[in-house]
Amino acid sequence: MATLNPYISFRTEAAEALEFYRSVLGGTVETMTFESMGDAMGPVPPEAKDLVMHGSLTLDDGLVLMAADTPPGMDYVAPTAGVTVAMTSTDPADQPRFADYYAKLSEGGTAGMPFAQAPWGDYFGQFDDKYGVSWMFDVAGPESENA
């Protein structure tokens, strides 16, 4: 079975961000630091030893969000370079849960569109979180329940 997972680049905040996302979305965080890889990737500079080489947040429903820090010597690419983490649902019953996710994940971030019923009937909202990651939530509106 194939999967498609968002993989977010951070300068040095991957562990903190994954823990923040886990505190809101639930699930389990797993990380590997550059130091934990030993010499497999060559010598690790002291300033990179605790950085996340690979991290993931696996939600209880199986959705996975991945993240990594940018080690010294590599160019950092901001996570909002044209990519948005989108969480969508066709089940109107997810609206309260998505509203809660939106409220908590957007704290300290930059407002985009408030999570509210959109002209097309879904509940929709978007923002950049406090780490600069762009998020979008969309859940079917109540009229979709019997569709």
- What 3-state DSSP class applies to 147? coil
Residue 46: φ, ψ to 5° = -55, -35
Judgement on whether residues 64 and 89 belong to the same structural domain of the protein: no
pTM of the model: 0.90
CB 137 within 8 A of CB 89: no
Question: Is 75 a domain residue?
Answer: no
Which structural domain range is residue 12 located in? 7-69
Residue 84: φ, ψ to 5° = -125, 140
Judgement on whether residues 13 and 54 belong to the same structural domain of the protein: yes
Residue ranges of the chain with per-residue pLDDT less than 70: 40-41, 144-147
Give CA–CA dist 45/138, Å, rounded.
42
- pLDDT at position 147: 45
Judgement on whether residues 99 and 64 belong to the same structural domain of the protein: no
pLDDT in tens, 46-75: 888 899 999 999 999 999 999 999 988 889
- pLDDT at position 36: 87
Judgement on whether residues 55 and 89 belong to the same structural domain of the protein: no
Question: Is 2 a domain residue?
Answer: no
- pLDDT at position 70: 92
Question: Is 110 a domain residue?
Answer: yes
